[in-house]
Structure 1
Amino acid sequence: MRSVLPVLLALGLTVYCVVSIAQADAGEVRALPRWGWLLAVLFLPLLGAAAYLLAGRPVAGVPGRRTPPGRRPGPKGPDDDEDFLRGI
């Protein structure tokens, strides 16, 4: 059982990173293009996955990050929300 657990953890981390790479916008992935991260994660499972999580994954709240279509950014506080201010 002990020798199976590290293999399962490495497999789970690899699958997580592959799914994350596939879902990320090409312009938001850092340091390498998406296909480069995909190759790194698949051919160097632990090292590539760790590198992607540290240096390649898109970061929330980065200036220039696009808002998904059909959604507007929400207010940052109560004083930024016009509906809240009207109700006072």
Structure 2
Amino acid sequence: MIRAMLIIGGAALIVGLTLYTLLDAVRTPAHEARTLPKWLWVLVTLLFPVVGPLMWLILGRPKAQPAAQPAAGAPRPGFGQRRNTPAPSVSSPDDDEEYLRWLKAKAERERRSREAESNNKQDPEDGTPNQGNGQN
């Protein structure tokens, strides 16, 4: 029983490694493959189930390129800023005059929005909705 489980587990490991390296070799651009041409790496990976994938990982896979670091204060790639928000600064937010102005303007917009919303609700005296035409 244990022997069968080890054989099945080993076979699954070999199949998984072969599939991973095969897909990795296929997805790698041809000019980045090392040592052998890309098409030959695909054949080696398929024809030699244990040795082929290990050779691809050691000898054929492109070397990892170091990621370029974004400049200080720049937003991370893939994460956009909300529109109309000031760019992040290196100093603390309460030292940034532009950010403080933006916060005041945002608070004023929210206050006006709440006032307009409360003006459009029902008039408490007669129970009729206020149409916002200045008559109460």
* TM-score bin (small chain): 0.7 to 0.9
Match of 2:99?
A: none
Residue in structure 2 matching 1:12, options 16, 34, 40? 16
Match of 2:28?
A: 24
| Residue identity opposite 1:24 in structure 2 | T
Structure 2 Cα separation of the partners of residues 84 and 3 of structure 1: 54
Match of 1:61?
A: 65
Instruction: Provide the aligned length of Structure 1 versus Structure 2.
Output: 73
RMSD: 2.2
Which ranges of structure 2 fall in alignment gaps of 5 or more residues? Answer: 75-86, 91-136
User: Which fold has the larger relative contact order, with Cα–Cα distance below 8 Å and residues 6 or more apart in sequence?
Assistant: 1
TM-score by length of 2: 0.48
SS of the aligned residue for 2:22 comes to: helix
TM-score by length of 1: 0.72
Percent identity of equivalent pairs: 30
Match of 2:114?
A: none
User: Which structure's CA Rg is the greater one?
Assistant: 2
Alignment pair present for 1:35 and 2:24: no
| Residue identity opposite 1:43 in structure 2 | L
Describe the superposition over 1:31-72 as per-residue Cα deviations: whole angstroms up to 9, x where unpaired.
Answer: 01111101101111100110000010011127xxxxxxxxxx
Which ranges of structure 1 fall in alignment gaps of 5 or more residues? Answer: 63-72
